[in-house]
Amino acid sequence: MLGNVLTLGSPFVSPPILAQGDYVVSPAAVLVLCVVAGIGTLLLLPSARETSFRAIGGVILIAAGLIFAALVAHSAAATEGQAVYFWIFSAIALIGAVRVVTHPRPVYSALYFVLTVFATAGLFILLWAEFMAAALILIYAGAILITYVFVIMLATQAQTGGNKARYAGLADYDALSREPLIACCVGFALMGVLMYLIFDKASVLPIHQPPTVQTPIESPLNGATQQLGEYLFKNQLVNLELAGLILTVSMVGAIVIARRRVVDNIEVYEPAPETVTGPATPVNDDPHSIPVVGTDNPRQKAYPET
């Protein structure tokens, strides 16, 4: 459940305490907690159960998270001042993520996703990636999520709902999950394996020395954003141009995909029929004259069409 904890654990949960062969948290406990969290999520997913069941699922999930947090906090003797923010942001991000997945209404899923994006941006700031935090908020919460909310507004279907009062305003596909048991088993088995591996091997990782001095890239500018820009344009120039190309292509593709055919509505332009009283051009009595459209030479020879 707290799947991103120990990827950040190495630089953040205070390095001096990791002795060789000493686990931050026992991997077996992590595995058990993953299973418990999986059961909690399974109960929390939208289904035709009573509200009390889903509430129990939520409580189980929160309990698993708190136990895990307590285990890690217990083993981390010295905590840096910044570690508190890490826990706060992580908790908000994960709770938001779980609610995105388990909330029956799609609009609430989008809103919880905005909350998750903000928490992730906070985590980015803790990792000295301020530009990425701002870019995340701008791009994700600003553009992509707004697009999602608009599409949700446009594509809402009349609700038939189930027979339970809670799901009265929902369509059928929102009220029921699709194979929740297998999905939760697969998902949390993957997470259990990954976290087991991470926690098992975390003790043998070299102790991270947080860079106290950022190595400048031959420039008087020393801010992180400036250095990121210099890195991008010096080392990743081709990738940058390709990214722009991808955006252009996707823009064109989106326009082409969503274009509505308007064949029925276009009025075919027909010029008003002209009333011709006589031949438009002077009549040529020459029988060998070249036929002109609109004129009729009665004495013209009938030439075969070539």
Ranges within 190-229 binding another protein (CB under 8 A)? 190-191, 194, 208-211, 215, 227-228
CB of 115 or CB of 283, closer to another protein: 115
Q: Residue 288 carries which DSSP code?
A: T
Position among 11, 29, 283, 284 found at the interface with another protein (CB under 8 A) = 11
CB of 176 or CB of 283, closer to another protein: 176
Position among 57, 117, 118, 199 found at the interface with another protein (CB under 8 A) = 117
122 part of the interface to another protein, by CB under 8 A: no
Residue range at the interface with another protein (CB under 8 A); choices 63-71, 253-261, 284-292, 296-304: 253-261
Helices (H), the chain: 9-12, 27-44, 51-75, 83-102, 106-126, 130-136, 145-154, 172-175, 180-201, 224-235, 237-257
CB of 297 to another protein, least distance (A): 57
Q: Are 69 and 61 in contact (CB under 8 A)?
A: no
Position among 32, 67, 92, 183 found at the interface with another protein (CB under 8 A) = 183
135 part of the interface to another protein, by CB under 8 A: yes
What CA–CA distance (Å, rounded) separates 192 from 34?
Answer: 5
Beta-carbon contacts of residue 228 (< 8 Å; ≥ 6 apart)? 131
250 part of the interface to another protein, by CB under 8 A: yes
Q: Residue 261 carries which DSSP code?
A: P
Q: How many residues bind another protein (CB under 8 A)?
A: 84
CB of 5 or CB of 25, closer to another protein: 5
| Phi, psi angle pair for 132, to nearest 5° | -65, -35
Strand, coil or helix: 157 = coil
Q: Residue 170 carries which DSSP code?
A: S
What CA–CA distance (Å, rounded) separates 55 from 40?
Answer: 9
CB of 68 to another protein, least distance (A): 14
Residue range at the interface with another protein (CB under 8 A); choices 2-10, 72-80, 278-286, 298-306: 2-10
Position among 55, 168, 251, 280 found at the interface with another protein (CB under 8 A) = 251
Task: Report residue 175 as tokens.
Answer: 């009220």
Residue range at the interface with another protein (CB under 8 A); choices 52-60, 106-114, 265-273, 274-282: 106-114
Beta-carbon contacts of residue 62 (< 8 Å; ≥ 6 apart)? 40
Task: Report residue 180 as tokens.
Answer: 């929740």
22 part of the interface to another protein, by CB under 8 A: no
232 part of the interface to another protein, by CB under 8 A: yes
Within residues 142-171, the interface with another protein by CB under 8 A covers 143-144, 147-148, 151-152, 154-155, 157, 171
Query: Max alpha carbon distance in the chain (Å)?
Result: 114
275 part of the interface to another protein, by CB under 8 A: no
| Phi, psi angle pair for 194, to nearest 5° | -60, -45
- Is 300 exposed, middle or buried (CB count within 10 Å of its CB: 0-12, 13-18, 19+)? middle
Position among 45, 60, 72, 76 found at the interface with another protein (CB under 8 A) = 45
CB of 135 or CB of 283, closer to another protein: 135
Site string for another protein, 54-73 (x = CB under 8 A): --------------------
